[in-house]
Structure 1
Amino acid sequence: MENTINLEKDKLRNSVYINMTIFLVGKLVSLFGARIMNFAIGLYVLRTTGSGMSFALTMIVSTIPAIILSPFAGVLADRVSRKMVVVVTDVLCGVLLIIVYPLSMRIGLSFNLVLITVFFLSILNTFFNITMETSIPNIVDEKRLTKINSYSSSITSLASIVGPVLGGFIYGFFPIERFLLIAGISFIASAVSEIFINFNFNDAPAIDRTREKVLIEIKSALNYVKTKKVILLILIFAVFVNFVFSSYIVSLPHIINIQLGLSSEQYGLIQSAFAIGSLIFSLIYSLLPERKNGYKYVIYSLMIISALMMLTGIPTLQIFESAFKASLLIYFIIINFSVGGALVFLNLPTFILMQRETSDEYRGRVNGLLGTASLSIQPMGMVLGGLFLDYISGFALVFICGLLFLIISVIFARLDDLKELFL
C-alpha cells in the first residue's frame, strides 16, 4: 500500500515537472524569437528612415492593441479552452511572419508593412499573454506556483539580455527579412510544444461559462474586483507603481546621457544591468520557501527602490561635476542592477497572491483589467516625467518618485488584512 502511494506521488511530481518544463521551453523559444525580431525591426526602422518619430510610432502601434484589447482577451480566456487560445495565437503569429517574409522579399519591407505587421502581432500577443498568465495556476500545483512564476520571470529577463545581443549579431550577417522567417519558425515551434501542456493539471471547480455579451462580462469582472478587497488593492497598487516608475524611467536617459554626458554604449550597459538583476533575483526567489515573508518582501522592496530612486539623481549635483565617467558608469550599473532585483521581490509576491485569490472563473478578465490599467497609465507617467525634466530638474523628479514609493510602502505596511493573506 505504501509503495502504491509513493508511486502515485512520484507520478504526480513527474507530471508537474513535465508541465513546467514544456511551458518554460515554449515561452523561451517564443520570447527569444520575439525579442530578436523586435530588436531587428527597431534597428531597421531607425536606419532606413533615420527618424526617431518613426521608431516611436512603431512602439505606439505595438502598445495600443494591448491597452484596448486586454479586457476582451480576458473575456476570451475565461470563455473558451485556454490551450486552444495559446496554441492558435502562437500559430497565427508564426503564419503571419512567414507570409510577410516572401512578400518583403518581393516588394521590399516598407515602413507601412512594418507597422501593419507589428500591429497584428501586438493583437495576437495580447490574447496570448493574457491567456497564458491566466493559465499558470492550472498548469502546476499550489506548491510550485512560486517556482513557475519565478522561472517565467527569469526567462523574460534572460530574453531581454540575450535577445538584443543575438539580434545585433544576426542583423550584421543576415538581411532583415530573415528575421521574419526566424521569428515565424520560433512561434510555430512554441505552439507545437504548447500542445503537450496539460492546462487542466490543477483542476479548478466547474465553471458556468454561459455566453453573455462581452461588455457585460467585463462589467461583471469589475463588480467582482469591487467585492474582492485584496484584488482591488493590488490593481490600485499596480496602477500607482506603473505611473511613478514610468516617470522615473523617463529620467534615466536624460540624467545619464544629457546631464552627465555618458555615451549611448554606456547607457546600453546600464540598461543591461537592470535585466541581469531581474534574472539573478528571479532565480533566487525560486529557491525561497513557498509563501514565506511575501509581505515583508513587498515592503522592503518598495523601501529599497525608494532609496535607489533618490540616489539616482545624486551625481547631478555640482559637487560631483568632476567625477570620472567610469565611476559614474559603475554607480548607475549598481543602481539599475539593484532596481531590477528589487522589482522581482515586489512584483512576484503580489502577482502570485493575485493568482491565488482570483477565482478561475474571473482570472482572465481580471488579468485583462490589470493589463489595461497598467499599460494605459504609463504614457501619462512618461508625459508628466518629461514635463518635470523640461521645467524643473532630473534630480527633483527622481527624488519625488522615490518619496512617492516610500509613501506607498508606509500605506502598504498598515494594511493588516493584506498582510494575513501574504503569510
Structure 2
Amino acid sequence: MEESSKIKRATYHLYTFMISKLVASFGAQVYTFAISFYILQATGSATSFATNLICNILPKTLAAPFIGVITDRYSRKMIVITSQIATTLAIAGLLIFTLISGLSIPAIYITTCILSLTSMFSGIAFSSSITGLIDKDRIQKAMALNQMSISFAAIGSPAVGGLLYGTVSIPVFLVMYIVASIIAVILESTMNFRLFTTAQKARVEASEKETMWQSIKAGIGYLRLQPIIMIMLWISLLINFLFGAFEVGYSYILIEKLNVESQHFGMTQGAFSLGMLLMSIYFSTRKEVQFPLLVSKRGILALGIIMGGIALPLLLSMSYWIQFSYYAALMFCFGSMIIVVNTPLQVMLQKTIEDEFKGRVFSIIETMAMALIPLGMVIYGILYDIFPGQWVLLLSASMLVTVVLIMARPSVIRKAHPEVDVKTRESVA
C-alpha cells in the first residue's frame, strides 16, 4: 500500500476509533448510571452497590495476565469485535431475562462480571493495536482523541441517565446500550489493525509454540529489562493506593462534612470531566511532548498539591458559594492534570514497547494499576472514620509528593531522557 493511501487510511482509523469509543463508552456509562441507581433503590444497601463494583473490578484484575497473552497471540481485530459482540449478547440476555422474569440483583452481578471481562479484552486489544492503526507521528493525537471520547461520555451520560431515569424503564436503558454496542461493532469491523504492523505472522507462530504460562513469564521477563517502565509501574501502583484518600475522601467531605447539595456536588464532578475534555483537546492539537516522564512527574506533583487542597475548607471558614466555586475550580484542575500525567506516558509506552509484547505489558500495567485500589478504599474508609478528614488528606498528599520526588528523581529522568541535560546546557549557553 502506498504511503499516502496508508496515511489516509490512518486518518480514517483515527476518527473511527474515537467515534466507536465514544458510542461504546456512552452506552456503557448510561447503563452503569441506571443500574447503580436501580441497585440502591431496590436494596437500599451500600453492600449490594459495593458488590457490583467488586464484580466489575475483580474479574478483570484476575484475568488480565491471561488476556494479555491472548491479545499477543491472536488477531487483535477479532478480539475487539468478539468482545463487543459478547457485550451486546450479555446485555441482550439481561434484557430478555428482565422481560420474562423481571430484573434481579444476581442477574445484574453476572452481567457485570461478563462486561468486566469483555471490556478488558477490548481495552487491551485496542491499546496494543494503536501503532498498527495509526502512523507514529499521530499517536499522541490518537491517545488524546480517545481520552476526549471518554470525557464526552463522562459529561453527557449522567445528564442523559438522570433525564431518562424515572421516566423510562430499565429495558429502555438496556436497548440503548445494545444499539450503541452494535454501532461500535460495525465501526470496528471496518478498521485494518495491521496497517502499520510488520512480521505479525512470524511472531504469532513463535508465540503459539509457548504455553500460556511461558508467555506470561516472557512478558514479565521483557518488562524487567525495561527499567524506566518498571519505575513507572511502581509509581502508578503507589499513587493509585494513595489516591484512595481522594476517592473515598472527596465525596465523604463534601456530602457528610460540608453538606454540599447533590446537584452542586454533581456540578463539581462535571468540572472534573470538563477539565479532562479541554486538556485532551489541547493534546490532540499540539505537537508531541518531548520529555513525557518529566511532564508526567510535574503533573503528579500538581495532583498531590490539589489533593491536599481538598482539605482547605475544613481548615478555613468559607461561605457555601465560595466552597462550591473552590471545589469546582479544584476538580477542573484535577481533571486537567490527569490528562497531563496519562497522555504523555501512554504515547511513550506505545513507542517504547515492542509490538509482540504490548498485550502482556499493557495487561500487567492494568493489573498493577488496579491491584491496590480496593485495599486503598478499605483502608481509607477506616481512616476517615477514625481521624479528621483534613489530616488524612494532607498526610496522603505529602506521601504522594514524596514518593514521586524519590522514585522520579533527576537521575531517573536523565536516564529516560538523556537529551534533557543537552537542552539544559544549551539554554544556559
For the superposition of Structure 1 and Structure 2, which TM-score range results when normalised by the shorter chain? over 0.9
Deviation of 1:344 (Å):
0.6
Are 2:322 and 1:331 equivalent residues in the alignment? Answer: no
Instruction: Name the counterpart of 1:52.
Output: 46
Instruction: Name the counterpart of 1:3.
Output: none
Provide Cα deviations, 1:113-136, integer angstroms capped at 9, x if missing partner: 111111111121111111111111
CA distance in 1, matches of 2:403, 2:284: 26
- Contact 1:299-1:413 within 8 A present in 2 as well: no
Secondary structure of 1:173's counterpart equals coil
Range that drifts further, 40-49 or 384-393? 384-393
Match runs of 1:216-235 below 5 Å:
216-235=214-233
Letter in 1 for 2:339: V
Instruction: Name the counterpart of 2:271.
Output: 273
Instruction: Name the counterpart of 2:426.
Output: none
- Contact 2:241-2:372 within 8 A present in 1 as well: yes
CA distance in 2, matches of 1:345, 1:151: 14
Letter in 2 for 1:388: L
Secondary structure of 1:209's counterpart equals helix
- Contact 1:66-1:122 within 8 A present in 2 as well: yes
Letter in 1 for 2:90: L
Instruction: Name the counterpart of 1:284.
Output: 282
CA distance in 2, matches of 1:145, 1:126: 21
Letter in 2 for 1:214: M
Match runs of 1:250-265 below 5 Å:
250-265=248-263
Secondary structure of 2:259's counterpart equals coil
2:240 alignment partner, one of 227, 239, 242: 242
Deviation of 1:194 (Å):
0.4
Instruction: Name the counterpart of 1:308.
Output: 306
Instruction: Name the counterpart of 1:112.
Output: 106
- Contact 1:67-1:372 within 8 A present in 2 as well: yes
- Contact 1:231-1:358 within 8 A present in 2 as well: no
Deviation of 1:421 (Å):
8.2
Secondary structure of 2:165's counterpart equals helix
Range that drifts further, 408-417 or 344-353? 408-417
Deviation of 1:266 (Å):
2.0
Provide Cα deviations, 1:156-206, integer angstroms capped at 9, x if missing partner: 111111111111222233210121122112112201110111101111444
Are 2:149 and 1:155 equivalent residues in the alignment? Answer: yes
1:92 alignment partner, one of 82, 86, 91: 86
CA distance in 2, matches of 1:188, 1:211: 35
CA distance in 1, matches of 2:400, 2:225: 27
Secondary structure of 1:380's counterpart equals helix
> Unaligned stretches of 5+ in structure 1?
1-6
CA distance in 1, matches of 2:70, 2:278: 34
Deviation of 1:86 (Å):
0.2
* RMSD, aligned CA: 1.8
1:404 alignment partner, one of 399, 403, 422: 399
Are 2:398 and 1:382 equivalent residues in the alignment? Answer: no
- Contact 1:247-1:384 within 8 A present in 2 as well: no
2:12 alignment partner, one of 18, 24, 49: 18
Are 2:125 and 1:127 equivalent residues in the alignment? Answer: no
CA distance in 1, matches of 2:16, 2:89: 22
Identity %: 26
- Contact 2:207-2:215 within 8 A present in 1 as well: no
CA distance in 2, matches of 1:156, 1:36: 12
1:193 alignment partner, one of 184, 187, 192: 187
Secondary structure of 1:105's counterpart equals helix
Secondary structure of 1:172's counterpart equals coil
> Unaligned stretches of 5+ in structure 2?
424-429
Instruction: Name the counterpart of 2:32.
Output: 38
Deviation of 1:60 (Å):
1.1
